[in-house]
Structure 1
Amino acid sequence: MSKLNRLTKNLYLLFTLSAVGFVGLLLGIITDNKAWQIIALLILGVTIIVFIGALIQNHRENRVIFRLQRAVKNLNLQTQAKPVLVRPDDEYKGLADEINELASAKDDEYQKSLAETTEIEKIINVLPVGVMVVDQAKDVIFANSQMEDILERQIKPEPHPYTLDIANYELLTMIDSVYSDHQSTRTEISEVSNDPKTIDVQVVYNRIKNSFHLVVIAYDISEVINIKQMQIDFLRNASHELKTPVTAISGFAKTLLDGAKDDPESLTEFLKIIDQQSDQLTSLINDVLTISHIQNHESNAAEPLLLRAFVDQEFKTQSNQIKAQNIQVENLIDEEFQVKIDSASLRRIVRNLISNAVKYNRPSGTISIDASRQGSFWYLNVKDTGIGISQKDLARIFERFYRSDESRNKQEVPGTGLGLSIVKELVDSLSGKITVRSQRGVGTTFTVRLPYID
């Protein structure tokens, strides 16, 4: 309003000065009065100067108004507004200061909200669950990296239909149901992606004022289910393995008590069988206890040892079994080769690998062991010329109680079925890796890679 009043006054002043100047100039020309003419020209000059000054002032005011309008617009758009700078004597100084204070307060609030949002996104991104937010328009507006891993596809950051990311029919049906019923739901879904997985999925309906969105929370429980299945398999297999020696011991003991003890030949034969089955039972119990110790992370401190002498000692420990098979052993490890490791764990590894090489070797076969260092790792190779392992069995030989169909059915090879499983868990506990190469009728090579500790 003040600007309109000032503009009106300026127009009146310009009109008045112009009228006076033109009238004075006209009278001076008519009367041929030079003084009137000069005065009139001066008045017109002053009028022009006032007009130019008014234009400049109006331009300055328009610039200030434009900056104020832009600042207010930025506030409405929730974007950062630059401060409006005006002269101390400008009539808009108070208004500019108020807008600047409001912009500063809103910018602080925006930065705080942005920091909180960023922090929340960081937390969501490190959660072990997949999170996807779908708005009312059925567009994905957020998804963390875990959801990408579960769906096995890259999710675009810009809004897009959720059907572009989700291919599983059951999950799509869940989301559509929540959109229709406005009720949260939860279930387990299999095969969400190309790989077989079991996912615990919860679709949460969340209303905010006049709109709503869905939060899809997915957690891969495949490992949990696998562990449960492994526990069931372990109990079933352990019961099966325990049943055989216990049944044999109990049966032959009852036979002896029923009168077979009076026959010297039967007595000796049955007692040998009971002794063998007792050893089998003891071996199984020791293997189970070993697995328990490994899982409880019970290990000793690493100590330096000469590997060749260490392996020779293990060959001597199993010399009776080696001689019974007439097997030739070759220790190809350099005498000065030294490693630093938990000796108890390494002893179980080497003992089980040598025992395995003896059991599955052919008569008059060969076992050779060598070792080498490559960078920050050292490698132990145990090679035999035995019956080998079929390709269908290679992927499962480290499973607990697993034996090939041939050895399980015919019981050609004695053992608990836990030896290689123990080796695998011991190697894993030492931050190592074990691999196997084998060919039926040719032989098998186990390679253990372990960190080299200076």
Structure 2
Amino acid sequence: MQSQHSSNTSHSPSGPVPAQVTVTEAVDPQHQIQYLKNELKKAQALAALGELTSTATHEFNNVLMTIINYARLGIRNRDDASRDKALSKILEASERAAKITATILAQAKNRSESMEPTDLAAIVTDSLVLLEREMRKYRIAIETQLDPAAPKVVASGNQIQRVLLNLLINGRQSMPDGGTILIRLSPSSDGNFVELVVRDSGSGIPRESLPHIFDAFYTTKDGPDESGKGGTGLGLAACKEIIDSHHGRIRVESTVGRGTAFIIRLPISKEVKAAG
């Protein structure tokens, strides 16, 4: 890094007057690049956390509104049939709230940011709990093919769930008139990886956009949807960053008008290999 200092002195009847001192520094390009990379990682992490927080908050709000509305219905109607229906719906919504709470608490207790043997099937199940109401609202059918033979992978459960939630929300947004999302989990043929596929029947991605789909700030969306999600161009870039940090791979296959598939491969836990 280089520095350049300059100063000028002017004169007045009362003597010399120092002028403003100018200091110019040439910034090391490599240092600046690393700084920008670090800032981008922070932005990506915040974007992913924002998606998760938004999803959980939205689900809780839906549950609370259901409880409130049916409680009012029970108060207004004095006949037993109406009250029984209201109480049944309140109980159903309360059980869903408890399920969501249990899912979030399990994440906090059992999943760390560190790499450890992780059950991807459990992450899929928990993610679908959080998105169940949202998918139903937008008429999205979820199909799962979770191979029980798929072993644990070396991963941060919290980070992988952020990736999965992002892909599921992207899939939902690509099908404004409803559709189907397939989640498939299976061991790779070579026995070294587990493959997680998220496939939607949506609008697809134009061929010219595919090479840039994981670039930071690149997006094919006009902005956030009505739920406030998406449109920043950070989601898929963050997904790739997370998968790369796991020594895994993520790729996309898409056909306009037929849908998109994201294929993730994560390395199997060494403990699992040793046991096998």
Task: Please give the TM-score of this superposition, normalised by the length of structure 2.
Answer: 0.53
Equivalent residue number for residue 206 of structure 2: 390
Higher relative contact order (CA 8 A, sep 6+): 2
Alignment check: 8 A CA contact 1:369 1:380 kept: yes
- In proportion to residue count, which structure has more strand? 2
Asked whether 1:355 is paired with 2:169, we answer yes
The secondary structure found in structure 2 opposite 1:312 is helix
Structure-2 change in CA distance of 1:449 and 1:226 (3 Å):
farther
Q: How many residues align?
A: 168
C-alpha displacement of 1:411: 6.4
CA distance in 2, matches of 1:387, 1:420: 17
User: Structure 1, residues 378-425: CA drift from partner, whole Å, max 9, x if none?
Assistant: 211110011111112111111222212xx2279688423211111100
CA distance in 1, matches of 2:33, 2:210: 21
Alignment of 1:32-431 (within 5 A): 227=33, 299-305=113-119, 307-340=120-153, 341-374=155-188, 375=190, 376-404=192-220, 407-408=221-222, 414-415=229-230, 416-431=232-247
User: Structure 1, residues 276-324: CA drift from partner, whole Å, max 9, x if none?
Assistant: xxxxxxxxxxxxxxxxxxxxxx94131342x333312211101222011
Larger radius of gyration: 1
Alignment check: 8 A CA contact 1:432 1:451 kept: yes
CA distance in 1, matches of 2:139, 2:214: 27
CA distance in 2, matches of 1:335, 1:228: 42
Residue 207 of structure 2 aligns with an amino acid whose one-letter code is Q
CA distance in 2, matches of 1:335, 1:409: 39
The secondary structure found in structure 2 opposite 1:441 is coil
The secondary structure found in structure 2 opposite 1:395 is helix
Alignment check: 8 A CA contact 1:312 1:331 kept: no
User: Structure 1, residues 81-101: CA drift from partner, whole Å, max 9, x if none?
Assistant: xxxxxxxxxxxxxxxxxxxxx
Equivalent residue number for residue 268 of structure 2: 452
The secondary structure found in structure 2 opposite 1:444 is strand
Structure-2 change in CA distance of 1:411 and 1:317 (3 Å):
closer
C-alpha displacement of 1:372: 1.9
C-alpha displacement of 1:433: 0.9
CA distance in 1, matches of 2:238, 2:253: 19
- In proportion to residue count, which structure has more helix? 1
Equivalent residue number for residue 438 of structure 1: 254
CA distance in 1, matches of 2:254, 2:169: 17
CA distance in 2, matches of 1:370, 1:393: 25
Alignment check: 8 A CA contact 1:388 1:444 kept: yes
User: Structure 1, residues 222-244: CA drift from partner, whole Å, max 9, x if none?
Assistant: x959948976x96xx99xx9xxx
Task: Please give the TM-score of this superposition, normalised by the length of structure 1.
Answer: 0.33
**RMSD between aligned residues:** 3.2
CA distance in 2, matches of 1:330, 1:226: 46
The secondary structure found in structure 2 opposite 1:308 is helix
Structure-2 change in CA distance of 1:318 and 1:410 (3 Å):
closer
Alignment check: 8 A CA contact 1:300 1:344 kept: no
Identity of aligned residues (%): 30
CA distance in 1, matches of 2:211, 2:195: 21
Structure 1: where are the runs of 5+ without partners?
1-222, 242-297
CA distance in 2, matches of 1:437, 1:313: 25
CA distance in 2, matches of 1:344, 1:387: 29
